[in-house]
Amino acid sequence: MGIHGMLLVVQISLLGLIISSIMVAAAASLAKFDCPNKCGDVEIPYPFGLKKGCSLNEDFLITCDNEVAKTGDVTVKNISIENHQLRVLHFVARDCYHQHRSQEYNEPFVWPSTFIISQSRNKFTVVGCDTYAILHGVHNGEYYSSGCLTVCKSLHSVRNGSCSGCGCCQVAIPAGLRNISMEVDSFNNHTNVSDFNPCSSAFIVEKGEFNFSSNYLRNMSKEMLPIVLDWTIGKETCEEAARNKTNFACKRNSECRDHFSTKLGYQCSCKPGYRGNPYLYNGCQDINECEHSAHNNCIKAKNCVNTKGNYTCRCPKWYHGDGRKGGEGCIPEPFLMLKIAGVAVISLIAILVISFWLYFLIKKRRLIKLKEKFFRQNGGLILQQQLSTMEGYSETTKIYTAKDLKKATNNYDASRIIGQGGYGVVYKGFLQNNKVVAIKKSKTVDQEQIEQFITEVVVLIQVNHRNVVQLLGCCLETRVPLLVYEFVPNSTLFKHIHHASTISWETRLRIAIEIADALSYLHSAASIPIIHRDIKSTNILLDDDFTAKVSDFGTSRLVPRGQKQLPTVVQGTLGYLDPEYMQTNQFTEKSDVYSFGVVLVELLTGQKVLSLLRPMEQRSLAMYLLCALKEDRLFEILEKRIMDEGNTEQLKEFAKLAAKCLEVKGDERPTMKEVAIELYGLRQMKHLWDNDESNFMEETGPVIGEC
């Protein structure tokens, strides 16, 4: 393997480690992404959640009141994903006698139907010396009752720690019991205050959490005790739930099982070899059994190889077998294999010597042919033909060598990546003269990608405008084509609007003017008119002074003189696409005007182009603005800082201009030159405008659809 191959292997390995780290970090949390996962000291794993949208449904919604987690009125102390159990607290039911008889009863304990009293973890317990108690509930859809009684004549007959019927009794709880209530009473009247047993108590308690003592016969001081509930998803079996895949709760690398007792509802768990939360998409992560020798039985730890959900044990060279303790182990190969290996080594050495001798003889010729091959594959002949028909451009476009660009990007180091798109990856590069550039490397070399590459070169070498990213040159002698642009350091307009939102209104207005000026130049001032076809805020770059630069001409088209529209396959970004273009497949310069109108609305509102949070008819940002204008509530949708900084009349006119750009019919939209002139006028405005907007809808025409 050559040096280039070794470097490629190292890069792929590093990338794999990075991806693995990200996946492990994402899976570390058991809660849904961007949801709170704690109430007090109680962890809240998904499918439970502390607010709507963070839980699977309302049955799993946990309230957090003063750092106390509750489901309904029941206090939650612990939630287990592995065992599918909740540990909760409930009150002790009492029947007490004083000088005047007083009885205390508890209301039935009600929780969501997905929660069931755990048969294996709880006991129904009764404490008293003249006491009987009955446990009521619903079992298998029918009313159910069970109980026990306890009698003792004095404290001498009571044994601490024993609930065998003297002072304390316990009975098991049937599987699948729901909607419980308890009834406790005494056979006799104990109004005598000297009586040693004035109270009778009944409760369900987690096994091991209640240790009977004779002191409880005088005073049962405990108000609440823990019980354990089983929980399931819904009331369907695994087979029934799996049919409806969109609502099936068991995610990747998990398996489903029906609840063992009720067969109502199902539970999810990670497959063997995985651990985590089976209810999250990437919740079940592979266990690396090779990290700890306790998790694998390989003869040697270094020979352990982790696989998805399992592991294998390798044997050293010249050995074979399963490599496991207690298994086949590693068995030496027969001696004959050593002889064969020796002959193979000698033969290999001879072949290598001959190969190197032939290699140096034909190296020079191969390199020349390889460069010519790449030049043809990367569209060099097409580009030469295009440049020859365009006077003066061939001298201004620099051709870089592969060595220059490899050095500039530190061998295309992943840390130098500054952007990725549908057609390539963009690297930050440093040329020998310390000039910073952006280098675009295509992802593949199929014919469609080559056509996009040549299109972008032909378009950009004709453009000379301060608000359009400048093409400095290209490289054709590599396996994939490369373009070299000026470097624009301050990221995209999209990031500054939607992530940082620190741009002032004055700067936003200037940016809008600069974009409009650039598009006007492309449409009408360039030597051959150019339609961009993908105007959006992610394709507007900003420099350190927030000067706008239009970028990404991979889908652009040159328009022959005298031709107003181009028939094309619909291509672009949802939310920015011209509705007329989507219906007719005819792309015109007015389609760029529509996309620019959407960018104007982004500058005004600071909102995303498409949002499921808005009503159905207003999910499109264009419709959102048009509806707001129609209903005279423009200022309700503007970004707050824009309202604080901008002149209201100026903002109204800006919005009206955006609405003109968003007309359904392209013929009713202004040209980019007219848009640029109107934006310049808005910026130069120095007097107060008339507040009468009654004729606005007549000026702008009908909106798209109904609000």
User: Measuring CA to CA, which residue among 60, 33, 19 is closest to residue 283?
Assistant: 33
Neighbours of 678 (CB within 10 A): 17
Query: Are 325 and 310 in contact, with CB atoms under 8 Å apart?
Result: no
Q: Catalytic one among 130, 286, 534, 552? A: 534
Distance, CA of 91 to CA of 535 (rounded, Å) = 65
Sign of CA dihedral 302, 303, 309, 310: negative
Query: Are 642 and 606 in contact, with CB atoms under 8 Å apart?
Result: yes
Query: Are 492 and 418 in contact, with CB atoms under 8 Å apart?
Result: no
Q: What are phi and psi of 205, to 5 degrees?
A: -140, 150
Query: Are 325 and 297 in contact, with CB atoms under 8 Å apart?
Result: yes
Does 441 count as an annotated binding residue? yes
Q: Is 276 helix (H, G, I), strand (E, B) or coil?
A: strand
* Strand spans (E) along 213-354: 224-231, 254-258, 266-270, 274-276, 284-286, 304-307, 310-313, 319-320, 331-332
Q: What are phi and psi of 566, to 5 degrees?
A: -125, 125
User: Measuring CA to CA, which residue among 392, 365, 622, 650 is closest to residue 505?
Assistant: 650
Q: What are phi and psi of 159, to 5 degrees?
A: -110, 120
Q: What are phi and psi of 483, to 5 degrees?
A: -120, 140
Active site residue 632: no
Query: Are 610 and 602 in contact, with CB atoms under 8 Å apart?
Result: no
Q: Is 363 helix (H, G, I), strand (E, B) or coil?
A: helix
DSSP character string of 494-528: HHIIIII----HHHHHHHHHHHHHHHHIIIIISSS
Query: What is the DSSP pairing of strand 115-117 with strand 254-258?
Result: unpaired
Element (H, E) at 438: strand 436-442
Peptide bond into 47 cis (omega under 30): yes
Q: Is 29 helix (H, G, I), strand (E, B) or coil?
A: coil
Radius of gyration of the chain (CA): 38
Hey, what are 132's tokens?
A: 């009987």
Distance, CA of 519 to CA of 595 (rounded, Å) = 11
Q: Residue 437: what residue type?
A: V
Distance, CA of 552 to CA of 534 (rounded, Å) = 8
Element (H, E) at 558: strand 557-558
Distance, CA of 72 to CA of 61 (rounded, Å) = 9
Q: At what angle do helices 648-661 and 505-520 cross, to 10 degrees?
A: 30
Query: Are 71 and 111 in contact, with CB atoms under 8 Å apart?
Result: yes
Kindly report the length of the chain. 707
DSSP character string of 388-420: HTSTTHHHHSEE--HHHHHHHTTTT-GGGEEEE
Distance, CA of 595 to CA of 250 (rounded, Å) = 41
CB under 8 Å to 247, separation ≥6 — which residues? 241
Residues in binding site for ATP: 441
Just list the catalytic residues. 534
